[in-house]
Structures are given as structure tokens and as C-alpha cells.
A and B are shown apart, each in its own frame.
Chain A
Amino acid sequence: MLTALWLAPLAVAAVLVAVPAARREVVLGAWVVLAVAEVGGAGVVWAAVPRGGGFAFEVAAPWIPAFGVGYHLGADGFSAPLVAMTAVVFLAVALSALRRPPDEDAARTRAFVLLFLALEAVGIGVFLALDLVLFFVFFDLSIVLMYFVIAGWGSGGRVRSALQFFLYTFLGSLVMLLGFLVLAVGGRTSGGITFDIPTLAARAPVTGPAGVLALVAIGVGLAIKTPVWPVHTWLPPAHTDAPAAGSAVLAAVLLKMGTYGFVRIAMPLLPGPWRSAAIVFVVLGVVSVLWGALVALAQRDLKRMIAYTSITHLGYVVLAVGAAGVVAAGPEARTLAVTGATVQMVSHGLVTAALFLLAGVLRERGGTSEIAAWSGIAGPMPRFSWTFALAAFASLGLPGLSGFVGEFSLLAGSLPAVPVAVVVAALGLAVTAALFLRALQSMLLGDRHLPAAAERAPAPRIGRFRAPSSPDLRVVETTAVGLLLACSVAVGVAPAVLTTTIAPAAAQVVSLVSR
């Protein structure tokens, strides 16, 4: 089941290679159908996750036996929601891609679709992997594929941004691999080298200098991908120059690989070092929250601003997983913190993907995503304005939307452990709220002022099609963004669906950290 889930996009990609590139509608249609099927599959996996903890649909087979590397997949309370979020985000991206510029070379459209199919495969794979090497393979492949997305379809200084992104995150991933090696070799005393995560979690954990070394390596690798201040500098240029779909996937899926790595690998496998370094993560989390929020406040470009709010939102996650390492706080609060962190990952994925897709619409219509270039667009672009406002409120944590659930529970869970840090981090909420309100106010309200390219007169008919006169969202774009926001509202209204799945896994990790 799980193998099929991550292999299905690749199978479709293999078929599409054989389809003539000129049949754009077949290529794009197959992508949407596959994306819908993936959402369904992710739902099935989610439903099967044991409520008492443990893995659903576990698959294990040897891969490189001499080195203890296995093909091990499983879905638990952490994986299933993230896989579902990944599937939904890719569905939204596929829908919005239905409106690719018709003058684009058909072969390029197909290459774009193939890249995103491969990205979906590795995005789902990474959240299902229960073997360190397998995790690394997916983690690393996501970087390579995203490099081609940014370098091939980006704008501005795309080649430079893509190179910076590739080098920075590739360095992070290889440093992380070193940490994995220490973990695998360190477990040798209790029977053979293995990269299997559950096996390593069941063994006596690596301690002493080797454990500290492993945590530093893994921590640095995951922190770069998350990204945590001060290793976040690759993110804003990558987001600014990536195409909208690439930005959405980068923010929603690729960044989660970093935070997911903390709860899946760093915490359960290195409990001792994690407890002693907990305060470091708390501090880095708080700094990321404030830094991201304040720098976002100063941005003039909408995409760049959203990129910096990602650092803020994931800073909360890092704060919470750090707080979960403070044993004195008691298991209930720490479980709540980890659960909240996971909800925040899902929520950030949905909301930020929606924001980036919307920013991409602006850039496509007007050629710019500068905040100052757009004003009073509520009149000409009502659908855009409603969805953008909703996404902004979800991002700043308005109750009733998913952002609130995540941030509230992770801050509540962290409060007993690190009260001062939580209070300081809560200031970030205020700054985020301020910057989103300011952006909403200046873009949606006021005198109508659109970039020249977006002010279209009714165009003459070309064949059967007529270029639309309104710069507002098209039906597929509204559907794509609406789908993401509907999920966000669902999580906000009925958080129990999400939290009851996550909580057992969170409780398990917390007890592993307390070892």
C-alpha cells in the first residue's frame, strides 16, 4: 500500500514520457487524476493508523544487507497527516497548473509535470521512510528535483538562487548523513550496524561524545532544511525566484522534511543529547520566530514576505520540540507541545502553499509581486481578495483556522517547560498579525492601482478561446486555493480529527525522549 502510494506518481511519470508531448491536456489531466488518487490513498492510510500508536501498513525488506540498510516503510500519527497534507498540496498545485501559459513549449510543460510527479513521490516517500538511508535518499532527491524546478522555471536570478539552494541544503543533507552514520555505527555494540529507525529506537541509545556529535550533525542538517535562524539565508532567494508551484511545494513539503526529521529521528534516537540540548533548540526557535517576523515586516515583495513568515512558523515548531526535551515539565504538557508542533507543520503547509499560489497569480497577471504595486484590488479581483484574506488570517493564527490550533497547543504545551521563551515567542504572533494586516490593507483596500499588465481590456478572440479580461482568479485557481483553505478551516473547526491521530505518536516520542 505505502509502496504503491509513493511509486504511483513515478509510474504515471513513466507513462507520460511515452505520451507525445504535444498532448498537453493528456499530460496535465493525468497529473490531476493522479493527484486526486493520491489524496484518496493518503486518506486510506490515515484511516488505518492505529489509534493506540504504532505503524500502519508496515513494509520491511533488506536493501543493502551488508551495511544494515533496509527498505522499511510505515505510517504512524506523524506520517499520515503529513502525507495527507503533501497529497492535498500537490493536488492544488496540479489544479493551478492546468492554467499554464498556452504559449509555453509543450515539451517544457511535460518536463514540468514530470518533475512535480517525481517531487510528489519523494515528498510522500520521505514521510513514510523508517530507515535512515531511505529517508536520506528521499530527502536528497527532493533537493535535486527542486533545483531543476527553480533553475528551469524560476524568474529573476534563478540560476544563482537555485545554485545557492542546492549547495546549502546539499551540505546540510550530507552533514545529516554523517550523523546517521554515527547513529548506525554507534548502535553496533548491541548487535550489528543498522539504519532501521524503530530498531535503533528500541536499542540502547547512543550516548556520550558520539551522541553529541550525532545530534550536532543531524541537528545542523535538519536546521538548514527547516530552516532555523541563522542558517535560513538560502530560503528567501529560493522562494522569490522559484515559480509559484515550486514555492508552494518548497514551503509546504520540503521544509517539513526538516521539522519532521526532528520528531522522527533526532528526538527518539538521541534522547540523552536531545534533553541536554533542548534549551539550544528553544532559543533557536524563539530567535527564528522573532527574526522571521521582524524581517518579514520589512519586506516589500509579497513572496519574500511569505518566505520569512515560514521561518517564523517553523520557529514555533522548533521551540515546541525543544520544549518537549525538558523532562521536568511532565509528559502531558510535552505531548501537547509535540502534537501542536505537528499540527503546525500541517497547517503551515496548507496555508503557505495557498499564499504562494496566490502570490504566483499576482506575478503572472501583473509581472510583479511587489506589495506596493498592487492596491485596491478587492474591486477588480474579489475572489483573489477573499481567499487571500482568509489565507492571511489562517497564517496569523485567527481562531477557527488551522494556524490557531497549532500555535495555541504548541505554546500551551511548551509553557510549563519554558515559560519565558513562550512569552517572548508570543510577541511574534503580534508582529505576524501586524504584517499580514498591513499587507491586506495596502493591497486589497485603497485606491485602485494595478500594474499595467494586469489592467486588461477585453481581448479579441483567438480561435475558440478568448483571453479573459478580468485579472481575478480563474475557476481552477479558485478551486486549488479553496481546497487548501477548506482543509485549513476543517482543521480549525474540528481539530480533534488531526490531534487524536497525532497524540499517540507524540506520547510515544515523548516517552522515548525521557529514556
Chain B
Amino acid sequence: MTADVVTLLPEVVLALGAVLGLLVGSFLPPGREAPVRGIGIAASVATIVVALVVHGGPSAFGGTYTVDVATTTVRVLVAGAVGVSLVLAGDVSGVASQTLGVRKATPSTGRTDTAFAVLVQLSGVGAMVLGGASDLLLLAAAVLLAGLPLAALAGLARDGRATEAALKYFLTSALFGLVLLTGVTVLLGLTGATSYAALGRATPPVVVAVALLLVLAGLLMTIGGVPAHFWVPDAVDGTHPVTGAVLTTTAKLGGLVAAWRLLAAVPTTAVPWPLLVAVLATASMTLGNLAAFAQTSLRRLLAYSTVSQVGYLLVPVAVATRTPLALPALLGYLAAYAVTNLAVFAVLAARPHALEVADQRGLARRHPVLAVALAVGLLGLVGTPPTVVFAGKLAGFTAAVDGGMSWLAVVAVLNSVASLVYYLRWIAPVFSPGDPVLRDPVAPRARAVAVVLAVVSVAGGLLVAFAG
């Protein structure tokens, strides 16, 4: 039992950070809750350290939770994302309505900052558990733990759009959570056990396929992939960019590894899931791209861009059992995606008053550093070298070709080119001369975060050897 707790120490540390933050926050006057964020940042840093340093057993609680390189990667990335979003939240603290949505400045009565910090950490714990879950019931619990705090997070601003965002997210997650539980129940009935190891002997194949599809649907909702992606644009567009960053990062990191773990346990002889995942990947990247073309709201554009990124992330999952390159490709791309996506959202968070394409004109003149960070981030999302996403895409494409799915690599390449169009629609006005603007304030923390992450995304691309 003690050994099990040691194995789960990173999750425990982050959860303790959340609990401690909740306690401290309830004693602080509303609007002056910076210490709670401090606790959260400290907890995420501690989580990263613990995840890298403390080596518990390879599994915990009777094999329901696996700790391997994938789990460690998810732990580090999720904790890092939680820390980054808490730093970003520091720019918008104090005034509740401003924290997570609109510009009008009314004094707050609720402790939204505490709520934000605690919810982000709890969702992070859920995402980390998702990454290690190797048991169907634990998977279901983790999906709920990762997802429900996000619904509350989306609704924190308490204005019309945020409420819509929260409701949409909540209803979608409730629906797909039920679907997932149904799938889990069917699989339990077929095998008599909930551990992944038992999945190999499940029969008959048709029923297994249906149940697997149901479970997968739940995971797709968590990661925001087609066809369970429709909450993403509304939730991201209705909330502050910092919330958007959280919504599109933490749960996704855990969910993709969870999908990889689950599918790898199912023999392809019984269920032809590689083809299914490949089709889902194609659908995600294509539909995400097509929908992003026409957007003028940057938050919506980015939301659809994350949908298409899920498609690229599913490429290595599709060849999970066919090539040893799939796992490093998946983990590398996850890290690249987390860094780059957060960098772009940080640029948005730096100027929360300018969230339309038209507001971007002349940004390079007024804030050259921010503009370069944005260009690096957006071109990074395209997969331009030498950023980390390029290394991730290269790895993913190599895995696809090596796994005998060259057509999927072709589809991904065509989609990458197509995505360039809408990213350039954002970049081009940034570097064009704009009308003089009297005031264009920039949130200092967000700018620093954007620059640091942009540097990391380039340096990481160059120094990727250490990860490989």
C-alpha cells in the first residue's frame, strides 16, 4: 500500500496542492488570492521533480495503474501545463469577470482565483491518472476527473457565453461519459475483469468492437477529436484564452496516452482498430482544418486548429502495435504540441482585448518580440523546422510509413499544407503595417511565457536528441 502511494507520488503531490490551495484560499479575502496560485505553481514544479526523480514500482494497485516512460512524460507535461496556465492566470487575477471572460470590471464576490487554481490542478491530476490507467474502471474515473473540473472552469466567468461554454462542455462530457461507461460495462461482461490484460481474450469480436468504439468515443470527447469535438470551438471561444489553453491541453495529453494504452491491449486480429483510428485521425485533421479556414475569431481558429492537431496525434496511435517508433513519436508530438499550443494561447492571453484577426494588424511594429513568438508558435503548429512540432510530425510520419500506413502520412502532409493557409491568415496582418493605435497594453506574464515557450519550441527542436 505504501509502495503504491510512492508510485503515485506525483499525482498525490498535485492533489495535495489543490487541497492546500482550497484551504488557504478560503481564508483569503476574495480577489487577493495570489498565494493559492503560488501553491499551485509550487505543487506543479514539485510534481515534475517527483515524477522525474522518484522511481516507484512499475505498477500500482494491483496492476490497474502502470508507470512507464509514457506515464512519466504525461506527468511532466501535464504538471508543466498546469504550472504555465497558473502563471498566465496571474495576469488576469483579482477581478472575477475579467479573470475568465469579459472586459467589464465589477468587483468580485466569489473566490474565482482559488477556484481556477484548484480546478486546474484537479483536472491535471485526472489527466495524469488517464496517462497511467490500465484498468477500465480507473479509466472511466480518470475521464470524469479530468473532464468535470474543466466544465466548472469554463463557467467561472458567469457571463452568457461562458455559461453556454460550460453547459455545452458539461452536457457533452456527461453524454460521452455515459457512452464510455456503457462500453466499459459491456467489456466487463465479456471478460469478467476490468484490467486491460483481460481484453486480449474477449469474444465475440463484433461485440468487443462495439464496446471498444463506445470507450473510444468517451476518450475522443476528452481529447476533443472528431466526431466528439463540437464542444471545443464554443468552449474555447466563450472563455478567456487562459481557460482555453487549459481546455485544449491537459486532458488531451492524458487522453491520447490512455487511448494508446487501451488500443495496444486489444489484439488487431480481433478488432481492426488501426484502420478505425486512422479514419478518425483523417477526419479530425481534415474537418478541423476545413472549419478553421473561415474563422475570424482567433480563439475559434485556434480551437479548430487543436482539433486538427488531435488528428496528427492520432497518427502514431493508429500504428501503435505495428512499429516500435509509434510510442516515441506519440510522446514527442505530445510534448511538442503542449509547448507550442500553450505558446500561441499565451500570445492571445497577452492581449485579451484583441481576439479577432482584424485586431492583429501592425502587432509586429508595436510588440516585435510578441509577434516573433507568435510566428514561431504558429509556424511551429504547421510543423516548420526547426521547431519541436516538426520533429514530432517527422516522427509521426516516419512511424506511419514504417507501420505500413503511408496513405495516412500522405493525408497528414496534405493537411499540414492546408493548415498553412489559415495560420498565415493570422501571421500576415501581424507583420503588415497597421493603423496607429493609442493603447495596446500587453500582459507582462503572458508575454514572458509566450517568449519562453517559443524559445523552448525552437531549442527543443534542435536539442531533441536528449529526448530521443
Complex alpha-carbon distance, A63 and B12, angstroms:
36
Within 8 A of A (CB), among B406-435: 406, 409-410, 413-414, 416-417, 420-421, 424, 428, 431-432
| A141, B386: Cβ atoms closer than 8 Å | yes
| A137, B468: Cβ atoms closer than 8 Å | no
| Residues of A in contact, count (CB < 8 Å) | 34
Complex alpha-carbon distance, A66 and B69, angstroms:
14
| A64, B401: Cβ atoms closer than 8 Å | no
| A174, B465: Cβ atoms closer than 8 Å | no
Q: Does B219 contact A (CB under 8 A)?
A: no
Stretch among A162-170, A250-258, A426-434, A448-456 lining the B interface = A162-170
Which of the listed residues A67, A148, A213 has the most CB atoms from chain B within 10 Å of its own CB? A67
| B325: chain A residues within 8 A (beta carbon) | 66-67, 193
| A166, B398: Cβ atoms closer than 8 Å | no
| B417: chain A residues within 8 A (beta carbon) | 167, 170-171, 174
Complex alpha-carbon distance, A174 and B325, angstroms:
20
Other-chain contact of B385, A141, A166, A185 (Cβ < 8 Å): A141
Chain B, interface size: which category? 20 to 34
Given A65-B465, A67-B325, A177-B397; A141-B424 close (CB under 8 Å): no
| B384, A67: Cβ atoms closer than 8 Å | no
How many A-B contacts are there with CB distance less than 8 Å?
A: 84
Complex alpha-carbon distance, A33 and B22, angstroms:
61
Q: Does A144 contact B (CB under 8 A)?
A: yes
| A166, B386: Cβ atoms closer than 8 Å | no
| A67, B428: Cβ atoms closer than 8 Å | no
| B465, A62: Cβ atoms closer than 8 Å | yes
| B385, A163: Cβ atoms closer than 8 Å | no
| A144: chain B residues within 8 A (beta carbon) | 379, 384
| A170, B420: Cβ atoms closer than 8 Å | yes
A-contact bits for B313-354, CB 8 A (1 contact / 0 none): 000000000000100100000000000000000000000000
A30 to B: closest C-beta gap in Å: 19
Complex alpha-carbon distance, A369 and B398, angstroms:
47
Residue of B nearest to A159 (CB): B428
Main secondary structure of the interface of B (DSSP, over half): helix
| B384, A63: Cβ atoms closer than 8 Å | no
| A184, B398: Cβ atoms closer than 8 Å | yes
B-contact bits for A228-271, CB 8 A (1 contact / 0 none): 00000000000000000000000000000000000000000000
| A36: chain B residues within 8 A (beta carbon) | none
Other-chain contact of A63, B414, B416, B424, B464 (Cβ < 8 Å): B464
A-contact bits for B367-388, CB 8 A (1 contact / 0 none): 0100000000001000011100
Other-chain contact of A185, B401, B410, B420, B432 (Cβ < 8 Å): B401
Given A64-B464, A65-B468; A175-B428 close (CB under 8 Å): no
A392 to B: closest C-beta gap in Å: 36
Complex alpha-carbon distance, A249 and B140, angstroms:
57
B378 to A: closest C-beta gap in Å: 11
Other-chain contact of B328, A66, A107, A175, A181 (Cβ < 8 Å): A66
B-contact bits for A53-77, CB 8 A (1 contact / 0 none): 0000000001111110100000000
| A167, B410: Cβ atoms closer than 8 Å | no
Q: Does B303 contact A (CB under 8 A)?
A: no
| A151: chain B residues within 8 A (beta carbon) | 428, 431-432
Residue of A nearest to B463 (CB): A63
Residue of A nearest to B409 (CB): A178
| B421, A174: Cβ atoms closer than 8 Å | no
| A178, B410: Cβ atoms closer than 8 Å | yes
| A213: chain B residues within 8 A (beta carbon) | 406
Complex alpha-carbon distance, A63 and B466, angstroms:
8
| B102: chain A residues within 8 A (beta carbon) | none
B32 to A: closest C-beta gap in Å: 39
| A67, B385: Cβ atoms closer than 8 Å | no
A289 to B: closest C-beta gap in Å: 29
Given A141-B384, A167-B417; A67-B394 close (CB under 8 Å): yes
Complex alpha-carbon distance, A133 and B432, angstroms:
32
A206 to B: closest C-beta gap in Å: 12
Complex alpha-carbon distance, A151 and B431, angstroms:
9
Complex alpha-carbon distance, A161 and B395, angstroms:
32
B-contact bits for A207-223, CB 8 A (1 contact / 0 none): 00000010000000000
Complex alpha-carbon distance, A213 and B432, angstroms:
41
Q: Does B77 contact A (CB under 8 A)?
A: no
| B420, A167: Cβ atoms closer than 8 Å | yes
Complex alpha-carbon distance, A45 and B342, angstroms:
43
Given A181-B401, A193-B402; A137-B328 close (CB under 8 Å): no
Complex alpha-carbon distance, A184 and B417, angstroms:
22
| A112: chain B residues within 8 A (beta carbon) | none
Q: Does B390 contact A (CB under 8 A)?
A: yes
| B414: chain A residues within 8 A (beta carbon) | 171
Q: Does B211 contact A (CB under 8 A)?
A: no
Other-chain contact of B402, A69, A107, A177, A188 (Cβ < 8 Å): A188
B325 to A: closest C-beta gap in Å: 7
| B384: chain A residues within 8 A (beta carbon) | 140-141, 144
| B468, A66: Cβ atoms closer than 8 Å | yes
**Sampled A-B contacts (20; CB under 8 Å):** A62-B465, A65-B468, A66-B468, A67-B325, A67-B395, A137-B385, A140-B390, A141-B385, A141-B386, A151-B432, A159-B428, A171-B417, A177-B413, A178-B401, A178-B409, A181-B397, A181-B398, A182-B401, A193-B325, A213-B406
Q: A67-B395, A141-B386, A178-B406 are in contact. List 7 more A-B contacts (CB 8 A).
A: A64-B468, A66-B328, A163-B424, A174-B417, A181-B397, A185-B402, A193-B402
Nearest 7 CB-CB pairings of A with B: A137-B385, A66-B468, A174-B413, A181-B401, A171-B417, A64-B468, A185-B402
